Structure 1
Amino acid sequence: MSTTTTRNVHQIFLAVHRGWIDHLRRVLEKDGRTMKNLCECNEHKETPLQVAIRERQFKVIEFLVQSVKDHIQIHCHPHSRWVRRMSSFSWDKINVELFAIGPAEFGREFTQIFVLPSADVAILRDMASSNRIGIFKLIEYLIDVVNDDTSWFEFFLNSMVASSMDRADKIIALELMGSAFILKIRLADEQFEPDEIAGGLRGLQCWKKALELRNSTANGRRPMPKIPHVLSSAARNALGDSPEVTTLEQLQELENQLRRHDRRSLITDQAFLVIQRTFAQRQLGAEPNLFHLKTLLDYGKQFKTTGDHFANTEIHYGRAINISLMIMQQFNRADSPKCFQVFVEAFLLFANVLNGLGRKTANNAERIKELTFAHVLEAIKFGFTIATNLILLPPICDQHSMWQSLVMRKIYFLMVTLFKMLPKFDPPEGERLCRVLANFFRVEQLRNGFASMLHLAVEGFVSARIDVTVRAEIVTFFLDNGADPKSLDRNGQSPLHILAGKCQPNSNELFFEVFQAVLEAGGHLDQVTPDGKTVIDVLQDKKKQFQESLDPRVDHWINTVMSLECYCAQKIRQESIPFEEDEQQLPLCLQQFIEQHSPLKSQLQGDNWIII
């Protein structure tokens, strides 16, 4: 290896380790050697992509995978109407109808007879052969059912089959890629019937080869039959009760049905049954897998937006709900931004379906069946689980703050739906909801930079034109279950600041009841914003604006006698008395109390503070 080449290889692996995408792009593209550079190995015989996966450099993984995909040149395939776009490295000479698996060879469990020698094939084949990255991770990082072209599916599958990975992993590759071929057309934005049939046939072909390999006894092998998997109730509701096919005869019947255009949705359910069984039977404690989660999510979204168009029926909310529950059952804090995004989107799908049902008439059949206390509570719990992770753990991507805001707002709207649906809870239901809220409100005190649930409830109340009473009840319900009335939003405002800012001459009795409830729960009229505005200051501004025409209770609040602790908090900052240094350090709760009452910019309004 030349000195220049050695230096380039060092730069490639340094960029991978440091996450330097721009630098990595320049080095890889140098002298037009992208694929050759991607095949270079470090002293541990790892390629750049293997290192990125091992070090969990997710942005680098995404960039390197896309670099490989972009390099596999695509052009029109002359022999197939279905596979319109194929890679020039070998596919222009291959008739995909003659897909065949070669005989078992000693030391190589399974080979494909038509794979042509190519450096392009080597990059994935050798990675699979090394056994350093399992088949589940390879599929997770390299396959996107909706966005990848079918030629990439072929390239990946042939690379796996041509590798020396063991028999069990090749079975998994064939079964999961068979599902990918089947679902590719079903999950596409547009439906093309000839493509749909061809995709199904290609998937069935993969399943047949997997079954042949399972049943093979060549070279003294033992058969590896499918181990039945018991579906969860959510999975049964989403996918039906049909068992997974286990014989070549059953696969042939599926093919016959597909060619007759008969019960085409059945093959879709079979694809998901294969995926569910395969991922459920991984080793205990395996982390969430993006291929598994995203494929479920893309399927669930179709039922929310377009309905069960496979059967030409109306929107099937039940399937969307149960697919969301299936994803929720896989939840684990993943440091993969894309995995976490799937969990966020699954919650949003769940919440949107339930809130949509809440807007339907009370006698709507789907509403009666699916809009239950149990479903809404599960959605709220799912949302709080995601929000808790967003609060407690470091950001994993640039969308962190947006997710926080969006998830919290959807939880609030679920509460509105729940209170409208059930004006009065049964005692067991009420206790369950109270426990969920109380647990989250304890965690919520650690949040930073976004509105609390109480802020959202107050904002929802003051801006509502309908369901005002329901929204007022939610505010008091939150307060009763531990919501902090002194919490601040991203603008440094407390819930009382928001209420005071909406005080009008025509404010009704309900407004003053909510204001008083927040005050009695522990809200402080002298709490200040970063620019020094207390709640009393806001009320005084309102009084000047409306020239004394406000309710007399506003005067009462303006002239409220403050407690000694509030006055002391003001005085500590006004006199610059140290309270954060080591020798004079106060407990954290007292530091927060002082900061809430007297930011540096605030000016003490002497006329309003009376010591008691």
Structure 2
Amino acid sequence: MAAPNASDLFCKAVSEGSVLQLKILRQIHGRKAIMANFMDTPCNKQGDTCLKVAIESEFYDVLEFLVHQLKGHIMFGLYKIWKASIKNVSPFSWETYTFQEVTEPFVLSPDIAIIRDICHKVPITRLIEYLIDVGCDEPLWLEFVLNSILASSIPRPDKIVALECIGTAFIFKQTHYLFQRRNVLNEIRFWRGPRCWKEALILRNATADGEPAIPKVPCEQSEMLRNAFGDVAEMTTVEELEQLEQQWSLPRELEEWQILRQSLEAQALLVGHRTFTRQTDTGLNSFHLENLVLFSNNFNKQNSRAFNIYLIILDQSYGFTSTSPHKCVGHFVRTIYGLLILFDKLWANQQDHPETREIASKNLVLTVKYTLAALTNVSSASPHFRLIDRTWQQDIQKKIHVLLSNWLSSLTKEHTENLKECLVPFFRIYNSNHGFLSLLHMVVNFDRPSTYMTTYSTTVQLIQLMLEAGADPRITDRNGKTPFHCLFDGSVWTCARSNLKTVFKAMLDAGGHLDQATSSGRTVISLIKSWRTSALPFANLVRDPYFDSFIYSVLPLSCSCAQVIRQKRIPFENQLPPSLKSFVLLHSDIKIT
């Protein structure tokens, strides 16, 4: 039997979603061999290309690898030709300039078939999402993608969407060019986005072959959109775009160009919002999210504007599913960090600006709502969504803890109730995350009252609020320790006996289990006993008749039975219903004297 050739191995690796195998094949055969033999080779019996197989199988890491190879080929192979053609556009004037001269190398390149031939097999908004990374891609790549799509046989409405979206991508590539020396190339780059929009409008108005015109219906702006994007509106006619170019053809100061750039970016986001909210069948789109994140960078010193942009980004998390691209998670995380940093600034400025406290209190509930919603929506996509690294989730929970500790005392009763409603869905999902440090663990196990300027009374209030919202005092960390155990594990609470008793009762009422054991066999009762008999300086503070009553109390018969089952190693896994099995597992298999 003949050994499989390199092409067969490549197709097999793509079909199995093995990026590791693809990297090995690239190392053995080289980048040129991949482009020459693999990219346009049918990957299965249906004749589908590797790109299509990766897209349909939702192998996003494989897709990212393939697109990266294609980008490298285009940048290395066509860049010199493109650079030479664009330099020939001189002297420069909008009256005589045509983009055909710039894009001719792409039209003549056979490589456009790689994207062209899959355009009709993938929703156009998904294709743009897979192929374009606004923050990293060069304009050359954007031109290649656009020409590949326009050379395809997809319907006119899809080509209009492509022109509008890639025009948006060009708009967000302007940021760096404004700070460079102004020349012909920079001028072309700056206006390429509006020119794409103009081509889209011309295509909308075309009535060749008896096709009707496709009117542009501007994005309907909600109050949230107006607060985020400002007082802007989409340009709906070719004349408006031409007039804009004419007005800005004269030399301008850098500050004026920045104002224009921000205005165009806001309009680009309206284009994106209109496009992607109407494409409900394709779900959340990371291309639009990335543009929103880039836009938020303009307003680091404008707290109110930045706050509203952050909320719009996190609001998109309600559309997150197990099939959403992993990139979306990164955009949500960066946005959450930006939002929480904003509140750190407010906390630092509150002494000099008393009105800051009122602004923060008003927006705190919304911040917690959308931050926890993003965490919840991402987590609820499991198990289909492969999210192994939980470090960022725990880091965000720590920051939420700090945020709530700082501002909880400033909230009105109404805001506190609203905050509790926001916590309910979060705990409903995260209560099942055993083996990880929970938000309730963090609050109970804070270092000392001075940390984050938190008082015991604030911490008690926060714990009670979380328990009322559904936080489970039985949830365990990686050592099997619950928040209930944390009360007596260390010296945090020994200095505040009345507060300790309040929290203890609250956890007991919320379902905390006194006989639940850690991985080392310690129970809450055994910890109380250890404190009572220890020689630590604070031991006398926990020698209280209330806690003593639990040491000498008789366990319920159900707990005694569970202890016997565990300590005598009696098989029960396949003998009990799930609820009883979970109850037995709460108890230690080590006898504690």
Q: State the distance in 1 between where 2:171 and 2:277 align.
A: 20
1:60, distance to aligned residue in structure 2 (A)? 0.3
Partner residue of 1:580? Answer: 573
* Aligned with residue 288 of structure 2, among 277, 292, 309: 292
Identical pairs, percent? 32
Q: Give the conservation status (yes or no) of the 8 Å contact 1:455–1:495.
A: yes
Deviations 1:327-378 (A, max 9, x none): 2332223332222332343334333323542443167488367524455245
Cα distance, 1:64–1:114 mapped onto 2, change above 3 Å = closer
Deviations 1:211-265 (A, max 9, x none): 2222223444433221122022221111112211122332133324544343322
Q: Map 1:141-220; keep pairs closer than 5 Å.
A: 141-186=130-175, 191-192=179-180, 194=182, 198-220=188-210
- 16-25 vs 219-228, which deviates more? 219-228
- 542-551 vs 529-538, which deviates more? 542-551
Q: Give the conservation status (yes or no) of the 8 Å contact 1:380–1:414.
A: no
Partner residue of 2:475? Answer: 487
> Is 1:34 matched up with 2:34?
yes
Q: Map 1:25-174; keep pairs closer than 5 Å.
A: 25-27=23-25, 30=29, 32-36=32-36, 37-42=38-43, 43-74=45-76, 87-88=79-80, 90-94=82-86, 95=88, 98-100=97-99, 115-128=106-119, 131-174=120-163
Partner residue of 1:420? Answer: 409
Q: State the distance in 2 between where 1:287 and 1:485 align.
A: 36
Q: State the distance in 2 between where 1:384 and 1:457 align.
A: 20
Q: State the distance in 2 between where 1:394 and 1:368 align.
A: 41
Q: State the distance in 1 between where 2:384 and 2:177 align.
A: 32
Partner residue of 1:107? Answer: none
Q: State the distance in 1 between where 2:407 and 2:291 align.
A: 30
- The aligned amino acid for 1:528 is A
Q: Map 1:273-284; keep pairs closer than 5 Å.
A: 273-282=270-279, 284=280
Q: State the distance in 2 between where 1:49 and 1:100 align.
A: 29
Q: State the distance in 1 between where 2:355 and 2:187 align.
A: 31
Partner residue of 1:318? Answer: 304
1:385, distance to aligned residue in structure 2 (A)? 5.1
Partner residue of 1:83? Answer: none
TM-score by length of 1: 0.82
Between Structure 1 and Structure 2, how many residues are aligned? 562
Cα distance, 1:470–1:297 mapped onto 2, change above 3 Å = same
1:403, distance to aligned residue in structure 2 (A)? 3.6
> Is 1:237 matched up with 2:233?
no
Q: State the distance in 1 between where 2:273 and 2:383 align.
A: 31
Cα distance, 1:225–1:69 mapped onto 2, change above 3 Å = same
Q: Give the conservation status (yes or no) of the 8 Å contact 1:387–1:408.
A: no
1:47, distance to aligned residue in structure 2 (A)? 1.3
Q: State the distance in 2 between where 1:388 and 1:176 align.
A: 26
Q: Give the conservation status (yes or no) of the 8 Å contact 2:106–2:144.
A: no
Cα distance, 1:17–1:189 mapped onto 2, change above 3 Å = farther
Q: Give the conservation status (yes or no) of the 8 Å contact 2:494–2:538.
A: no
Q: State the distance in 2 between where 1:385 and 1:339 align.
A: 10
Partner residue of 1:333? Answer: 320
Cα distance, 1:463–1:575 mapped onto 2, change above 3 Å = farther
1:197, distance to aligned residue in structure 2 (A)? 5.2
Deviations 1:128-167 (A, max 9, x none): 3xx0023212210111111111221122222222333332
Cα distance, 1:201–1:438 mapped onto 2, change above 3 Å = closer
Q: State the distance in 1 between where 2:212 and 2:442 align.
A: 61
- The aligned amino acid for 2:110 is A
Deviations 1:565-609 (A, max 9, x none): 333322222223333233xx2x333322322221x3x2231xxxx
> Is 1:386 matched up with 2:375?
yes
Q: Map 1:417-456; keep pairs closer than 5 Å.
A: 417-422=406-411, 424-426=412-414, 429-456=415-442
Q: Give the conservation status (yes or no) of the 8 Å contact 1:237–1:322.
A: yes
Q: Give the conservation status (yes or no) of the 8 Å contact 2:473–2:511.
A: yes
- The aligned amino acid for 1:318 is S
Cα distance, 1:505–1:150 mapped onto 2, change above 3 Å = closer
Q: Give the conservation status (yes or no) of the 8 Å contact 1:392–1:447.
A: no
> Is 1:254 matched up with 2:244?
yes
Q: Give the conservation status (yes or no) of the 8 Å contact 2:14–2:53.
A: yes
State the Cα RMSD in Å.
Answer: 3.3
Q: Give the conservation status (yes or no) of the 8 Å contact 1:208–1:251.
A: yes
Partner residue of 2:559? Answer: 566
1:21, distance to aligned residue in structure 2 (A)? 1.6
Partner residue of 1:457? Answer: 443
Partner residue of 2:394? Answer: 405
Cα distance, 1:389–1:115 mapped onto 2, change above 3 Å = closer
- The aligned amino acid for 1:456 is M
Partner residue of 1:14? Answer: 12
Q: Give the conservation status (yes or no) of the 8 Å contact 2:428–2:470.
A: yes
Structure (1/2) with the larger helix percentage: 2
Q: Secondary structure at the match of 2:218?
A: coil
Q: Give the conservation status (yes or no) of the 8 Å contact 1:438–1:482.
A: yes
- The aligned amino acid for 1:544 is S
Deviations 1:184-232 (A, max 9, x none): 132x599436387553212222222222222223444433221122022
1:277, distance to aligned residue in structure 2 (A)? 2.2
Name stretches of at least 5 consecutive residues in structure 1 with no aligned partner.
Answer: 76-85, 103-110, 308-314, 606-612
- The aligned amino acid for 2:276 is F
Q: State the distance in 2 between where 1:414 and 1:471 align.
A: 12
Q: State the distance in 2 between where 1:189 and 1:339 align.
A: 27
